[in-house]
């Protein structure tokens, strides 16, 4: 060994000393809101035959909203999950159904048939919804992910699709809520242009909707949207995140560790409804992967059952803090 200037530094890990102070502060006087179970829904998570046991697999979760195709079957975007039929299955639960109108069309992106043809099909949906006599509908979702599913060759989305469909719903079912624009991800510029048009043309959605990939970006998106309402002079709207997952094509869809951050942020910031995504497209009717492929309860189901059992008011909690002190012995 070269003895000139050679230093032997021994880090004695056995002498590392850890001192931890764990503190959780709960302020019972600082109430946020009553527990709503807003995050307990799913996209295509209930279909005509699955889950097979609504009373034991669905009702205990205290679900708030499920998103379903307005029509399903051959020639439609989805083969199963018809919203009108699903609303009948859910009528003895806490759940309501969002009626996704563009799913009456084939293809992905949706194959646009022209304004009048689309409106004719929407009339059928509205009449079927009204004829059901049920009230467990959350509203009509006019379109889905327009950034990627609306082709420029169709014409201007706002004037060709949004405004005519909005007016049709208002004329045929004036008490129903209208949901949109259902962005694939939050984009403040797109939302500004859309809401500016809606304000000028008397067609602002009753519920504002976008999809959220990753819990970490939600608070910023939420704050941007609320600031935009103030900027444009629009009264605060309920928010629906009717597709959420930790990331796109998510293998961890519905897993407890990925779901908790979404649940806490959606509840804390007053989201009205949220639906777990549906990445396993060959397996609908599983409550957003809370159930196994053969419709048995998975780990996610038990988390959402625990969430569903929560009652009372949410209060302010200061998270766990850990203070760590370490000493390393350096020997030369």
Per domain, the residue ranges of the chain are 10-323
The pLDDT of residue 128 is above 70: yes
CB 212 within 8 A of CB 218: yes
Give 148-159 pLDDT, tens digit per residue.
Answer: 999 999 999 999
CA-wise closest residue to 181 among 208, 155, 148, 149: 208
Q: Which pLDDT value is given to residue 41?
A: 97
With cut-offs at 50, 70 and 90, classify the pLDDT of residue 30.
Answer: confident
Tokens of 298: 């998975």
Instruction: Name the average pLDDT for the chain.
Output: 91
Q: Which CATH number fits domain 10-323: 3.30.420.140, 1.10.340.30, 3.20.20.80, 3.90.320.10?
A: 3.20.20.80
Cα 323 to Cα 16, 17, 24, 319: the distances in Å are 14, 12, 13, 13
Neighbouring C-alpha atoms within 13 Å toward the C-beta of 216: 2
DSSP annotation of 23 reads E
CB 311 within 8 A of CB 37: no
Q: Which pLDDT value is given to residue 160?
A: 98
- What is the mean predicted confidence (pLDDT) over 235-252? 96
Task: Give 160's contacts (C-beta < 8 A, 6+ positions apart).
Answer: 115, 154
Neighbouring C-alpha atoms within 13 Å toward the C-beta of 278: 23
Q: How far apart are CA 269 and CA 264, in angstroms?
A: 9
At 3 the three-state DSSP class reads: coil
Q: Which pLDDT value is given to residue 308?
A: 97
Give 166-225 pLDDT, tens digit per residue.
Answer: 999 999 999 999 999 999 999 999 999 999 999 999 999 999 999 999 999 999 999 999
- What is the mean predicted confidence (pLDDT) over 26-52? 93
Q: How far apart are CA 48 and CA 284, in angstroms?
A: 10
Q: Which pLDDT value is given to residue 137?
A: 98
| Continuous H helices in 233-297 | 256-268
Q: Which pLDDT value is given to residue 64?
A: 96
CA-wise closest residue to 39 among 276, 237, 199: 276
The pLDDT of residue 328 is above 80: no
DSSP annotation of 109 reads T
331 or 137, which is more confident:
137
φ/ψ of 203, rounded to 5, equals -145, 40
Pairing verdict, β 10-11 and 207-210: unpaired
Q: Which pLDDT value is given to residue 329?
A: 36
Q: Which pLDDT value is given to residue 296?
A: 96
Angle in degrees, 0-180, between the axes of helices 218-232 and 256-268, rounded to the nearest 10: 20
Cα 261 to Cα 145, 184, 216: the distances in Å are 24, 20, 8
Percentage of the chain exceeding pLDDT 90: 84
Q: Which pLDDT value is given to residue 31?
A: 85
DSSP annotation of 130 reads H
The pLDDT of residue 14 is above 60: no
With cut-offs at 50, 70 and 90, classify the pLDDT of residue 29.
Answer: confident
Q: Which pLDDT value is given to residue 314?
A: 84
């Amino acid at each position: 060994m070269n003895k000139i200037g050679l230093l032997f530094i021994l880090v004695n890990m056995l002498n590392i000393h850890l001192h931890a102070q764990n503190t959780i502060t709960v302020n019972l006087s600082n109430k946020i809101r009553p527990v709503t179970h807003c995050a307990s829904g799913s996209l295509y998570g209930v279909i005509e035959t699955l889950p097979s046991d609504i009373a034991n697999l669905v009702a205990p979760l205290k679900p708030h909203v499920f998103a379903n195709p307005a029509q399903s079957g051959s020639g439609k975007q989805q083969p199963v999950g018809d919203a009108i039929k699903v609303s009948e299955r859910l009528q003895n639960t806490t759940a309501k159904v969002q009626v996704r109108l563009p799913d009456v069309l084939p293809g992905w992106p949706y194959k646009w048939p022209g304004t009048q043809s689309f409106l004719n099909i929407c009339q059928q949906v509205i009449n079927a919804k009204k004829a059901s006599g049920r009230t467990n509908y959350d509203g009509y979702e006019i379109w889905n992910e327009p950034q990627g599913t609306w082709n420029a060759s169709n014409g201007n989305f706002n004037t060709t699709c949004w405004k005519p469909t909005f007016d049709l719903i208002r004329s045929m079912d004036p008490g129903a809520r209208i949901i949109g624009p259902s962005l694939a991800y939050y984009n403040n510029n797109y939302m500004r242009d859309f809401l500016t048009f809606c304000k000028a043309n008397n067609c602002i959605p009753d519920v504002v909707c976008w999809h959220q990939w990753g819990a970490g970006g939600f608070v910023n998106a939420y704050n941007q949207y609320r600031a935009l309402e103030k900027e444009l002079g629009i009264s605060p709207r309920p928010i629906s995140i009717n597709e959420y997952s930790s990331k796109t094509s998510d293998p961890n869809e519905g897993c407890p560790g990925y779901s908790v951050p979404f649940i806490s942020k959606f509840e804390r910031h007053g989201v009205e409804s949220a639906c777990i995504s549906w990445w396993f497209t060959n397996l609908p009717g599983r409550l957003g992967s809370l159930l196994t492929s053969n419709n048995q309860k998975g780990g996610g189901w038990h988390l959402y059952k625990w969430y569903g059992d929560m009652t009372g008011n949410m209060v302010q909690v200061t998270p766990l803090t850990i203070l760590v002190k370490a000493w390393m012995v350096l020997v030369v």
